[in-house]
Structure 1
Amino acid sequence: MSLPLEDIRLDESAATAGPWQAVVWNDPVNLMSYVAYVFRTYFGYSRERAEQLMLAVHHVGHAVVAEGAREQMELHVQAMHDYGLWATVREGGA
């Protein structure tokens, strides 16, 4: 017995519902000041929040810069790539 098409669609949407995270990774190329600038410019973070995230990237190796729907996090990651930063999308809580 196969599942109705509606059930399959519901299962697929539940799998992508989130939460998802946009993660920026440390790299040997970008200056710390530039990373903070990107966070302020793109996300609109305050100077203090942008610097906290930048320091996490620098000292921990990565920082979660946004959380939400997968599609939105993919857009954020693409924007980070456009700025020259290394970024990925991952499931929240990872």
Structure 2
Amino acid sequence: MPREQALPEFDTETLVTTSQPFQLIVWNDEVNTFEWVIETLEEVCGHTHEQAEQCAYIIHFKGKYAVKQGEYEDLKPKCDAITERGIGATIEAMAE
């Protein structure tokens, strides 16, 4: 007769949710200045001046850059604030 083995206990009160992460993409254009993009990234995304400057150069040379990653609900207001300043921005799901 097989021996009974105790099953591990699980906390049934804890729910685990997984969600796909998103990224906030800022797009290059020929209208906005480096200074305006840098100021926007500092104020909207909370980047340091150095981070914002690096992002601005990558945006300029690559055409776009993911300046922030996170949950959609956190990125949406930032995306809206950036586009309200006349800078192109979108939110995209990150590839798994």
Question: Structure 1 length as normaliser, TM-score?
Answer: 0.77
Larger C-alpha radius of gyration, 1 or 2?
2
- Report the CA distance between 1:93 and its aligned residue: 3.5
Q: Counting helix residues as a fraction of each chain, which structure ranks higher?
A: 1
After superposing on structure 2, the runs of 4+ consecutive aligned residues of structure 1 that deviate more than 3 Å are: none
- Report the CA distance between 1:72 and its aligned residue: 1.6
* Aligned counterpart for 2:89 among listed residues 83, 87, 90: 87
Greater Cα offset, 60-69 or 71-80 = 71-80
How many pairs are equivalent?
80
* Aligned counterpart for 2:76 among listed residues 71, 74, 77: 74
Query: Quick one: which amino acid aligns to residue 89 of structure 1?
Result: I
CA separation in 2, counterparts of 1:26 and 1:65? 12
Identical pairs, percent: 29
Greater Cα offset, 63-72 or 48-57 = 63-72
Query: What residue ranges of structure 2 are gaps of 5+ in the alignment?
Result: 1-16
